[in-house]
Amino acid sequence: MRIEILNRLILAKQLLLAAENACSVPNDQWAFTRGIILLHDAAESALAAVADYLHALRVPQKNVYLLEYCDLIQKADPQNKSGVSRHVPYQQQLRGLNTLRNTAKHAGILPGQKSNAHFPVTIAAFIGEITQTYLGLSFAELRLTSLIRDQTIRECIEEAENHRQSGNYESALISLGYAMFYIVDSAAVPWSIFDCFLPSRSQKKPAKHVFPNFYDVNHTVRLLENGIDPHLHSRFHLLTPLVGRDTEKVVSPCTDGKKNTGTLATGMSRMSRFV
């Protein structure tokens, strides 16, 4: 699946979440109106993703509106071409949403909260159904991690999300530490096998673990090149374990309690209480 289609689906999910938050504000008609407009945009973004996936937009069109996507999808649907009729669901509800949005945006008539309180749930169900039907994807399980191309980094982030959802914040922070190591910190670790056995200034024996050198100006430049704020990167490592390589080039977290305040031995359990 092309990245542009995933981008549209992720955008639809972000808009839907913002709409649900806006519509949930009690006794605030302005916030609810903002939520209705966001719901319209979320539905339109999801329909555009399906239309793009089905190659329904082969001819460049400047303006395709919400309900027009339904016609384009039905015409491009392979199942309809085979003689089996299938229609885009919730079209009546989409017309109602489109009317509310237009009257609010173009006529200044705000929608009532009580009479239209069902729309957040309705649009969420609509987007979930069309993504499953036409794309074979679960919209509820769609995450920003879907856009991460590196499998190792993606698995670390997904593991952190699973730990967070289960309430295991300490394990979530450990997984995030691994993810940051693979993203950028690994480049600050000596790559030579000989370097891994070099003793530190205070040690007579070779160091068991070799960790990134965060004070190297090259690492700071590397952070900036990747769009990472060095100050935020430093604060990130106050919460997560410092990950490095041991003498066998194996990635592992620091456990000696001396490398930083967020290590497993010192502050992990206490830090995780604030997440």
DSSP 200: P
Task: Tell me what pLDDT residue 263 has.
Answer: 41
Q: How far apart are CA 111 and CA 125, in angstroms?
A: 21
Are 181 and 250 in contact by the 8 Å Cβ rule? The answer is: no
Q: How far apart are CA 208 and CA 203, in angstroms?
A: 11
Sorting pLDDT into bands at 50, 70 and 90, what band is 187?
Answer: confident
Same domain, 9 and 117: yes
Q: How far apart are CA 265 and CA 262, in angstroms?
A: 8
Segment 127-172, tens digit of pLDDT: 999 999 999 999 988 887 877 888 888 899 989 989 988 999 888 9
**What mean pLDDT is predicted for residues 181-210?**
62
**What mean pLDDT is predicted for residues 120-130?**
96
Segment 23-53, tens digit of pLDDT: 999 999 999 999 999 999 999 999 999 999 9
Global confidence as pTM? 0.69
Same domain, 35 and 121: yes
Same domain, 214 and 98: no
Domain end, chosen from 147, 170, 185, is at 147
Instruction: Evaluate if residue 10 carries a pLDDT over 70.
Output: yes
> Left if phi > 0, otherwise alpha if psi is -120 to 50, otherwise beta: which for 249?
left
Instruction: Evaluate if residue 271 carries a pLDDT over 60.
Output: no
Same domain, 127 and 172: no
Q: How far apart are CA 213 and CA 190, in angstroms?
A: 9
Same domain, 63 and 162: no
CATH number at residue 62: 1.20.120
Same domain, 239 and 112: no
Spatial CA neighbour of 54 closest among 84, 87, 77, 79: 77
Same domain, 20 and 80: yes
Task: Tell me what pLDDT residue 62 has.
Answer: 66
Same domain, 73 and 43: yes
Domain end, chosen from 147, 173, 189, is at 147
Task: Tell me what pLDDT residue 214 has.
Answer: 82
Domain end, chosen from 132, 147, 162, is at 147
| Bridge partner residues of 243 (DSSP) | 253
Same domain, 114 and 185: no
Task: Tell me what pLDDT residue 104 has.
Answer: 95
Same domain, 142 and 165: no
> Left if phi > 0, otherwise alpha if psi is -120 to 50, otherwise beta: which for 77?
beta
Domain encompassing residue 176: 151-272
Same domain, 50 and 173: no
Segment 212-259, tens digit of pLDDT: 888 888 888 988 988 889 999 989 888 888 888 775 555 666 654 444
> Left if phi > 0, otherwise alpha if psi is -120 to 50, otherwise beta: which for 14?
alpha
Task: Tell me what pLDDT residue 45 has.
Answer: 96
Sheet holding 251-253, edge to edge: 209-210, 243-246, 251-253
Same domain, 140 and 233: no
Segment 57-103, tens digit of pLDDT: 766 556 788 889 999 999 888 887 666 778 999 999 999 999 999 99
Instruction: Evaluate if residue 19 carries a pLDDT over 50.
Output: yes
If one counts the domains in the chain, the total is 2
Task: Tell me what pLDDT residue 141 has.
Answer: 82
Task: Tell me what pLDDT residue 260 has.
Answer: 43
